[in-house]
Amino acid sequence: MLSHMDVVSVIERSGGLSSRAALIAATARLDVDRAVRDGKIFRAGHGRYALPSVGEAARIAHGANGVLSLTSAALHHGWEVKLAPDKPHVTFPRHRNIPAKWREKVTIHRGDLMIDDITDGATSRELTLTQCLRLLPDDEALVIADSALRHGEVATLRRAVASVRGRGQAKAQRIGEGARGEAANAFESATRAICNTVPGLHVEPQVVISTPTCWARPDLVDQERRLVVECDSFEWHAVREGFRKDVRRYTLLVAEGWTVLRFIWEDVMFRPEWVRDVLVRTVGADARTLARTAWPFAA
């Protein structure tokens, strides 16, 4: 085995939630059990674990007499996000006075919600998706939309997209139509969001490439350009045999004329413009002459 990642780091890189199997694969069973005992992570459901901040968010929103929303609501519903928020997003009625002690603990949003808009102290699944598609930066919204599909919310996403009218409608439709349940995780979704800003680049997740000498299912593939984009995570290379297979697989792809780009989690999350510049240079000079698609990245 290669050296282990910290259990908390694995969950952070998995979008705030992770399965027990994934945690054990990246660390060790004893590490996971110890993290639970020490209160560093908690059980969020059968075989699912989360950071304490995810559970604490619901308690804070309840105490403040508000409703979890946006990324905090997405986590509450069991969907992965790009980065877990430092403070929970909480929606309050437009004219309610909020005591100072709660103002310091939450990110405040205003809106008058109906009974059907609230489920278990958070915005409903449909409203959560609607708000995320309309209000969040593209990368954050795509991560959540992909995750919702991955968890079987196909009809919910379809209704959410259809419900958006006026401001944000075009954006919601674009992201909703571009969401893919095949995306493996938040890291991959965030990388695809960056790829989507590069003119002429059209990647799809988990496409099988099969040749007489190589079989691979890369994270992201542009088949027309014969371009592979890999989201390299220590989590998936914790086992040396898996690391060896990856190296051999992508060496064979390069030998057959494919371009393989490998990005690490830190660069995708915190240096997205650098990742985009690398993609632009790879695609070609024509992309550089076109106007950039500017959208804010997660804070």
Is position 26 within any domain?
Answer: yes
Residues 284 and 222 in one domain: yes
163: Cβ contacts below 8 Å, ≥ 6 apart: 126, 130
Q: Cβ distance 80 to 140 under 8 Å?
A: no
Q: Which domain holds residue 271?
A: 186-288
Residues 58 and 34 in one domain: no
Predicted pLDDT at 287: 53
Burial code (b: 16+ CB inside 10 Å, e: under 16) for 57-93 equals bbebbeebebbbbbbbbbbbbbbbbbbbbeebbbbbe
Helix axes 154-163, 138-150, angle to 10 degrees: 140
Predicted pLDDT at 142: 99
Predicted pLDDT at 286: 56
CA distance 121 to 106: 15
CA distance 299 to 263: 20
Q: Among 178, 194, 220, identify where a domain stops.
A: 178
CA distance 293 to 271: 16
Residues 20 and 61 in one domain: no
Tokens for 47? 């075989």
Give the CATH number for residue 235: 3.40.960.10
The answer for 15, left when phi > 0, alpha when psi is -120 to 50, beta otherwise, is: left
Residues 203 and 238 in one domain: yes
pTM for the model stands at: 0.85
Predicted pLDDT at 45: 75
Predicted pLDDT at 221: 98
Tokens for 269? 């999350």
Is position 294 within any domain?
Answer: no
Tokens for 239? 């086992």
How would you write the pLDDT of the chain (299 residues) with one tens digit per residue? 334 568 998 888 887 888 899 899 888 899 999 999 999 998 877 788 888 888 889 889 989 999 999 999 999 999 999 999 999 999 999 999 999 999 999 999 999 999 999 999 999 999 999 999 999 999 999 999 999 999 999 999 999 999 999 999 999 999 999 999 999 999 999 999 999 999 999 999 999 999 888 899 999 999 999 999 999 876 555 556 777 888 888 899 999 999 999 999 999 999 999 999 999 999 984 555 444 444 444 43
Q: Which residue, 81, 56, 66, is CA-closest to 118?
A: 66
Which residue type occupies 208?
V
Residues 170 and 57 in one domain: yes
Predicted pLDDT at 223: 96
Predicted pLDDT at 288: 52
Predicted pLDDT at 1: 38
The number of folded domains in the chain is 3
CA distance 218 to 227: 10
CA distance 152 to 216: 25
Is position 174 within any domain?
Answer: yes
Residues 91 and 153 in one domain: yes
Is position 148 within any domain?
Answer: yes
Predicted pLDDT at 235: 58
122: Cβ contacts below 8 Å, ≥ 6 apart: 58, 61, 67, 68, 69, 72, 73, 76, 77, 128
Residues 222 and 263 in one domain: yes
Q: Among 153, 178, 203, identify where a domain stops.
A: 178
